[in-house]
Amino acid sequence: MTQTITAGQLLNERDITFMLYEWLGAQDLCARPQFAEHSRETFDAALEIYSRIAIDLFAPHNKKGDQTEPRIENGMVSVIPEVAVALAAFCEAGLMAAAQAPAHGGMGLPVLVERAGFAWLMAANPATAGFALLTIANVNLLLANGSPEQIEDYVGPMLTGRCFGTMCLSETQAGSSLGDIATRAEPRPDGSHRLFGTKMWISAGDHEVAENIVHLVLARMRDAPLGARGLSLFLVPKRLPGSASDGGERNDVSVAGLNHKMGFRGIPNTVLVFGDGSWQPFGEPGAIGYLVGQPGQGLPCMFHMMNEARISVGLGATAIGYAGYRHALDYARQRAQGRAIGNKNPSSRPVPIIEHADVKRMLLAQKAYVEGALALCLYCARLVDEERTAETTGERHTASRLLGILTPIVKSWPSQWCLEANNLAIQVHGGYGYTRDYNVEQFYRDNRLNAIHEGTHGIQAIDFVGRQLSLHGGAALGSLLDRMRQTASAASGIGTARLAEFAVALSGVIERLTHVAAKLVSQPEPAISLANATPVLEAFGHAVIAWIWLDQATAIGAAGRESADDFYRGKLQACQYFFRWELPRVGALIDAVERGDATVAAMTETWF
Amino acid sequence: MKILVAIKQVPAHDSRLFIEPTGEWIEENDLGYEVNEPDAYALEAALQLREQHGGEVIVMCAGPARVSSTIREALAKGADRALHIEEDDLRHWDNLSVAQLLAKAAQTEQPDLVLTGLQSDDLGFGQTGVIMAELMGLPHATLAMSVEVVDGRLRVKCELEGGWFQYVSMPLPALVTIQSGILRLRYATLMGIKRAKTKEVRKITPAELGAAGEPGITLRRIYAPHSLKQTQMLAGSVQEQAAQLVEKLKHEVRVI
């Protein structure tokens, strides 16, 4: 059975409208010179295009892509034809260039609006959206670090969909440990390089969706030092420019195999071999690559893309979680089973299962997770706009610091808790949810990836505890905690008992986290800090989501809309759920951390 | 060729509809809206005719301020300009008075061709276009599957029942109501949205058109149909039960 998807089964348009205009003030961005030609009307029209294309062209082949994995035929990877159709429409509508400046053929939309629109595609079909996601990230990297020639040759084709992009970091022996990358780059007389090595987990590494593919590859130049500092970044096109009549001579990049995944099956995940002589451009083996940025600056360049990718991973996790929630909500409203409590008449009509207390609980938990996560993702997108366009240098720096410290949280929290939302969505469906006839089982499998790729959950925790907490002398953490305190203060000022209760709860958590952070930064045993890093990240994550929920509730309260309609009542109830049932988890997570507990650190390999 | 397309904004097809406490209409506060689906195909047909024969495409839409999003979408898809008939409350306008309103507005443009959707997704009367044609004194065709201009005349392929089609040739000016699904709809583009900002949207009121909107029918109450499950046990031999079942399917359920 194939289910027809409606917009309301993916995201709640009203929720997005609320977040953009009533909470994050998207319309206020139009006062800035960069967005002066826009208005709420153009933002809404752009969002409408995203949702239409998502519903019409992305959602219908989500299940087919899952059931029809990419194949290798004659050394090339093929995907189902619907992928190319959907991406062509996406590009023709100008969405690949939505947030780019008009000088690059873009619409110059705020990142906030562009990401809100992109969430529709991720909810509809995260695998097909992945092609576009990687390409947009490649464009941003090249615009920031590429030479004028690289920008001219590749950015335009990528923005119009003639060319798609990949990011090639991992190798079979070097996944999270990028310093061990072994791919080497040998210089050529014309300044380009020939690359030799194997890359692992390369999404969209090969396909015929577009004329060309641009691989951005981390490799080690001759005589480069060991470790991450010896890595440089190279642009390696699948087809070399202007060298053959049929669209370019093939570069020496070949597909060694496909990884067969649990989810995200619609986008090929490849093992790519560079320079094994499968193709011999200019008569020799070796994949021709062009240095991007400076030698030895590969990782900083790549992390320009990686940080963006991490925010997008969080958004993707959120979108899949949100779609699961909306599916579960729809199902619970329609599925009639059992009677209302106290009704002992077996011949009476069964009630929709949404009326049963535990189903209601599971739906409310999902709502609290996915709407909280979406709010955090859009808050971070707004910070990107602040970082780029805020009026003063100070405001831009603050936005940059906040974005830095929130990046591991926006990547990891939705990956963990929106997966839990997908888990609950299956539970709401009961046995049907465990069958492939219903979409929610695929959502769960798809979402499971997000805690792994673009830096695992553990890597995010190490980054958060080992780097972000002490960055700029703790200024980033200070900025975050200040914002949280400001929200608590504003919530207290609304004058309702409910918001006052939440403000007190958040203030208490802020003080405990402040203490924990100080203790971690001064921890003389880094092994203990690292062993306890994940609970710390998760505790901060829950506190941040509570703050984001309270900030939204405060906006509702400030506008006097607490009881304006069911939408606002539902928002405040979800906020209340998070504060009363989720925020208390923070204490359990950090109790042992505060004591400097060394249980995990002291465990040895032979004791297992 | 000047082509006028009448479009209507209707509640999004996946909306959850709630009836107002008065029982006279649906709650509109929290509804999402979209262009009526057959009207989207009428617009697409108009844009393709313009691409083949030149001229301009004007969209016409009646309704409150919220219909401006539907008008803007049509402009972003490529319509050249628009006519917004400003009327806050069309709920009490019956199909004759709506057709009179649209016909009067259309006559201010003197179009060569008027296209409308076959019917609206919300009320589904399927009469507005036909009545407009009569009021404007135009030849018309309904249930159009394709529209071509051949030697200065229209050649329209109309859908009949049972898989039959009918080709109709008619002079211009004319009015044609368009069936859904006949073409591949284009999407608005971001550049189209930009361009739409500078396109003309002429606003006009029913009073300026001399259209009164006096209702010829009265809407008393709207309600959701009740679904009932009634189980009947058939008695007798298998043959008798089968005969009874056939009788019921023929005369009660009317499915065979």
For A4-34, how does the pLDDT look when each residue is reduced to its tens digit (9 = 90+)?
Answer: 789 999 999 999 999 999 999 999 999 999 9
pLDDT in tens, A136-156: 999 999 999 999 999 999 999
For chain A, what is the largest distance between any 2 Cα atoms, rounded to a whole number of angstroms?
Answer: 87
User: In the structure encoding, which two tokens stand for residue A211, read together?
Assistant: 């004329």
According to DSSP, residue A415 is labeled H
3-state secondary structure of B12: coil
A88 touches chain B (CB under 8 A): no
CB-based contact A378:A20 (threshold 8 Å): yes
Which one of B68, B186, B187, B226 makes the best mutation probe of the A interface by having the most chain A beta carbons within 10 Å?
B187
| CB neighbour burial string for A366-383, b if at least 16 within 10 angstroms, e if fewer | bbbbbbbbbbbbbbbbbb
- Number of domains within chain B: 1
Query: Alpha carbon of A590 to those of A501, A578, A583, A596: distances in Å?
Result: 22, 18, 12, 10
- Report the amino acid identity of residue A428: V
ipTM of the complex: 0.85
Could you tell me whether strands B9-11 and B33-35 are parallel, antiparallel, or unpaired per DSSP bridges?
A: antiparallel
Lookup result for tokens 């394709």: B146
Q: What percent of chain A has pLDDT over 70?
A: 99
Q: Per the domain annotation, does A514 fall within a domain? A: yes
Strands (E), A128-276: 163-168, 184-187, 193-203, 212-221, 231-237, 253-258, 269-274
Closest Cα in chain A, distance from residue B78 (Å): 13
- Number of domains within chain A: 1
The CA distance from A262 to A444, in Å, is: 10
CB-based contact B158:B165 (threshold 8 Å): yes
Q: Per the domain annotation, does B241 fall within a domain? A: no
CB-based contact A282:A306 (threshold 8 Å): no
Q: Which of A394, A401, A302, A315 is nearest to A112 (CA)?
A: A315
Q: Which of A364, A370, A274, A248 is nearest to A318 (CA)?
A: A370
pLDDT in tens, A314-359: 999 999 999 999 999 999 999 999 998 889 888 888 999 999 999 9
Closest Cα in chain B, distance from residue A128 (Å): 18
CB-based contact A425:A324 (threshold 8 Å): yes
The CA distance from A340 to A317, in Å, is: 35
CB-based contact B125:B119 (threshold 8 Å): yes
End-to-end CA distance of chain B: 48
User: In the structure encoding, which two tokens stand for residue A401, read together?
Assistant: 């610091």
According to DSSP, residue A224 is labeled P
The CA distance from B125 to A15, in Å, is: 34
The CA distance from A44 to A104, in Å, is: 22
Task: Please report the pLDDT score of residue A136 as a whole number.
Answer: 95
Which one of A13, A48, A51, A57 makes the best mutation probe of the B interface by having the most chain B beta carbons within 10 Å?
A48
Q: Which domain holds residue A511?
A: 456-602
Closest Cα in chain B, distance from residue A45 (Å): 7
The CA distance from B5 to B139, in Å, is: 16
User: In the structure encoding, which two tokens stand for residue A337, read together?
Assistant: 């089973």
Task: Please report the pLDDT score of residue A574 as a whole number.
Answer: 98
Neighbouring CB atoms inside 10 A of A75's CB total: 10
In this structure, what CATH number is given to the domain that contains residue B119?
3.40.50.620
Q: Which of B34, B12, B185 is nearest to A93 (CA)?
A: B185
Mean pLDDT of chain B: 93
**A45:B188 CB<8 A:** yes
CB-based contact A383:A348 (threshold 8 Å): no
End-to-end CA distance of chain A: 46
Measured CA angle at A515 (ends A511, A519), to 5 deg: 170
Q: Which residue of A has its CA nearest to B29?
A: A565
Q: Which domain holds residue B205?
A: 2-209
A30 touches chain B (CB under 8 A): no
Could you tell me whether strands B2-7 and B113-117 are parallel, antiparallel, or unpaired per DSSP bridges?
A: parallel
Lookup result for tokens 């027809």: A4
**A49:B30 CB<8 A:** no
Contacts of A94 in chain B (CB under 8 A): 189-191
The CA distance from A531 to A528, in Å, is: 5
CB contact residues (below 8 A), chain B span 8-37, against chain A: 12-16, 29-30, 32
Lookup result for tokens 């987990």: A201
The CA distance from B196 to B190, in Å, is: 10
CB-based contact B163:B199 (threshold 8 Å): no
Identify the sign of the CA torsion A207, A208, A209, A214: positive
A36 touches chain B (CB under 8 A): no
Q: Per the domain annotation, does A533 fall within a domain? A: yes
With a cut of 50, say whether residue A1 has pLDDT above it.
no
The CA distance from A559 to A577, in Å, is: 21
- Report the amino acid identity of residue A164: F
> How many residues are listed for chain B in this entry?
256
Neighbouring CB atoms inside 10 A of A557's CB total: 21
Q: Per the domain annotation, does B216 fall within a domain? A: no
Residue A75's φ and ψ, nearest 5 degrees, are 80, 0
Q: Per the domain annotation, does A260 fall within a domain? A: no
Q: Which of A221, A214, A176, A213 is nearest to A197 (CA)?
A: A221
The CA distance from A144 to A306, in Å, is: 13
The CA distance from A204 to A84, in Å, is: 12
Q: Per the domain annotation, does B24 fall within a domain? A: yes
Task: Please report the pLDDT score of residue A246 as a whole number.
Answer: 57
Which one of A41, A95, A104, A348 makes the best mutation probe of the B interface by having the most chain B beta carbons within 10 Å?
A41
- What is the pLDDT averaged over residues A360-378? 98
With a cut of 70, say whether residue A243 has pLDDT above it.
no
CB-based contact A425:A309 (threshold 8 Å): no
pLDDT in tens, A83-102: 999 999 999 999 999 999 98
The CA distance from A23 to A26, in Å, is: 8
Mean pLDDT of chain A: 94
- Report the amino acid identity of residue A530: L
CB-based contact A215:A251 (threshold 8 Å): no
- What is the pLDDT averaged over residues A422-432? 98
Residue A347 C-beta-side C-alpha neighbours within 13 Å? 2
The CA distance from A201 to A307, in Å, is: 18
Q: Which of A519, A527, A488 is nearest to A504 (CA)?
A: A488
Strands (E), chain B: 2-7, 9-11, 33-35, 56-63, 81-86, 113-117, 140-150, 153-159, 165-171, 174-178, 201-204
Contacts of A45 in chain B (CB under 8 A): 69, 72-73, 76, 188, 193, 196
CB-based contact A206:A214 (threshold 8 Å): no
The CA distance from B108 to A596, in Å, is: 81
- What is the pLDDT averaged over residues A60-81? 95
CB-based contact B158:B166 (threshold 8 Å): yes
User: In the structure encoding, which two tokens stand for residue B44, read together?
Assistant: 């697409």
Q: Supply the pTM of this predicted model.
A: 0.92
Q: Per the domain annotation, does B221 fall within a domain? A: no
Query: Alpha carbon of A226 to those of A10, A229, A507, A608, B142: distances in Å?
Result: 47, 7, 46, 33, 75
Q: Per the domain annotation, does A534 fall within a domain? A: yes
A603 touches chain B (CB under 8 A): no
CB contact residues (below 8 A), chain B span 206-235, against chain A: none
Q: Which of A370, A383, A261 is nearest to A326 (CA)?
A: A370
Task: Establish, for the pair of chains A and B, how many residue pairs have beta carbons separated by less than 8 Å.
Answer: 64
* Residue numbers of chain B with a pLDDT score lower than 50: none
Q: Which residue of B has its CA nearest to A330?
A: B16
Which one of A3, A42, A113, A136 makes the best mutation probe of the B interface by having the most chain B beta carbons within 10 Å?
A42
With a cut of 50, say whether residue A165 has pLDDT above it.
yes
> How many residues are listed for chain A in this entry?
608
**B69:A45 CB<8 A:** yes
pLDDT in tens, B196-225: 999 999 999 999 999 877 777 788 888 888
Contacts of A52 in chain B (CB under 8 A): 187
**B196:A45 CB<8 A:** yes
Phi-psi region of B146 (alpha: psi -120 to 50; beta: other; left: phi over 0): beta
Residues 6+ apart with CB under 8 A from A57: A82, A85, A86, A89, A90
Q: What percent of chain A has pLDDT over 90?
A: 88
Task: Please report the pLDDT score of residue A304 as a whole number.
Answer: 73
Task: Please report the pLDDT score of residue B89 as a whole number.
Answer: 85
Helix (H) or strand (E) holding A78: strand A76-78
Measured CA angle at B151 (ends B145, B156), to 5 deg: 15
